[in-house]
A and B are shown apart, each in its own frame.
Chain A
């Protein structure tokens, strides 16, 4: 590996709860806890952290984090555009770019949520992109807007309600082995899924991700520094963020995304470039962590990233192909945003690292390549290919 190769060397998290569940620590404190846990995991002195990256309207300023954590110098202070979790992997990618080019030595990507104290994400927001064209019609929140895309996917490809349910059940089953998962101990059956209340059809309550409190952090440095640290370095073989130029506000706005990509996540070209830069094919993947704001959106992302054929995600999840341990390509082995926690997808990056280190609670034997994706719906979305050192 080249000395400049960016690698994930530490991961950190706090406890995960239902939204509003953390009242004894501020968001900034949770972010700091996760960052310190990542530094301890890597065996890196927190003073040496010199880069901070987040995404999608994070509320926790690097200047305040850096001062409180007592770091020596801030060399990267950045955040990816776009709402929600589209930039989860992209924030890690920004950290990777900074360390690869020598602008920072130890860059951390983070997300922290204490929504009982600061407000729930995804509620009515008068400044929402293209709000004038959606709010007056009672399209206020993500499930209403994205249900429209999921319905069209069903129409175009014959995707069924039960197939959406299979995705939810797959995540929930994986969460049963994960002690950090909010939904551990709450097993789910198809009957439970089908009986869950409609939110905005075809999306039911159990098609929607959790709303959570908690924080995650991912520490990135170059291979030349990574190889001597405490844990095996996980190389970032490629990263990407973006979308087609004509995506605009997409299904989270006026729904004028391009006709030939309407019921997709707009990620096909991004995925092509991501795999090309890593020098692999989707068929080389051993495991994937797919951002699951909603079942149907995650399934479209699986198609765009080549885990299955376009339109084929329904039969794919129904067949058990995404289930650990016997499926051909286990997906969301931590339980995902649907059943572990909704730390806006940065928790998916942590699970990708665990798979590459060999210590997931649903470990894929011998896994050497993991896809992680962020945020279907908005632009930019983002993704990573993780490998083993």
Chain B
């Protein structure tokens, strides 16, 4: 299942973001955390905002993902999205990782069943060779 077309703009990551996407290519959703104090942060940034350390330890988001907010997009803002509407853009929160949030899509979830706070499961999609994106579905529905 590929939920958005292959010609939707793909990550154009800078050096700080590259490692996030490299982990995604290996199908692991990893967030930057501080090797000194443990604080998790996203998007990647050069210093820990809590202690200014530059030492990084990547931590995997394994389970415990909740829907923080969402929208059904009806108006395509890019030519590639014309055949895709309507689709759901979501913000997912990871309570075990300092409540860091990821903007993503909900896939395979009818809009009338979406509820803020619902438990979600990670699904990987590869719209283009080498471009692996983390998306989410209702917990228990991952396949």
Chain A positions near chain B (C-beta within 8 angstroms): 123-124, 126, 130-141, 143-144, 147-149, 151-152, 155, 197-203, 246, 248-249, 253-256, 259, 262
Contacts and interface: CB of A to CB of B under 8 A. Distances in A.
A197 B74 CA distance: 9
Contacts of B101: 254-256
Contacts of A130: 43
Given A126-B12, A148-B70, A254-B42, A140 B78 contact: yes
B43 A256 contact: yes
A124 B9 contact: yes
B100 interface: yes
Interface in B26-67: 41-43, 49
Interface string B55-94: 0000000000000111111110110010010010111000
Contacts of B102: 133, 254
A220 to B, nearest CB: 36
B19 interface: no
A138 B81 contact: yes
B77 A124 contact: yes
Nearest to B42: A256
Interface in B86-114: 87, 89-91, 99-105
Interface string B98-136: 011111110000000000100000000000000101010
Contacts of B100: 256
Given A131-B12, A138-B105, A141-B77, 20 more contacts: A124-B9, A132-B12, A132-B14, A133-B43, A135-B10, A137-B4, A138-B87, A140-B78, A143-B75, A144-B77, A147-B71, A148-B103, A149-B69, A151-B71, A197-B75, A198-B74, A198-B75, A254-B43, A255-B69, A255-B101
Nearest to B11: A132
Give the most central of B13, B101, B133: most A CB within 10 Å.
Answer: B101
Contacts of B14: 132
Contacts, number: 121
Nearest to A198: B74
Contacts of A141: 77
Contacts of B10: 135-136
A201 B71 contact: yes
Contact of A201 (B4, B72, B84): B72
Contacts of B9: 124, 126, 131, 135-136, 140
B133 A137 contact: yes
Contacts of A255: 68-69, 91, 101, 103
* Closest A-B pairs by Cβ, 5 of them: A132-B11, A141-B77, A147-B71, A140-B77, A152-B69
Contacts of B75: 143, 197-200
Contacts of B84: 138
Nearest to B71: A147
Given A138-B8, A246-B49, A152 B73 contact: no
Given A126-B12, A144-B89, A137 B116 contact: no
Contacts of B71: 144, 147-148, 151, 200-203
B77 A137 contact: no
A151 B17 CA distance: 28
A97 to B, nearest CB: 29
Given A144-B89, A152-B116, A137 B74 contact: no
B128 to A, nearest CB: 10
Contacts of B73: 138-139, 144, 200
A274 B75 CA distance: 37
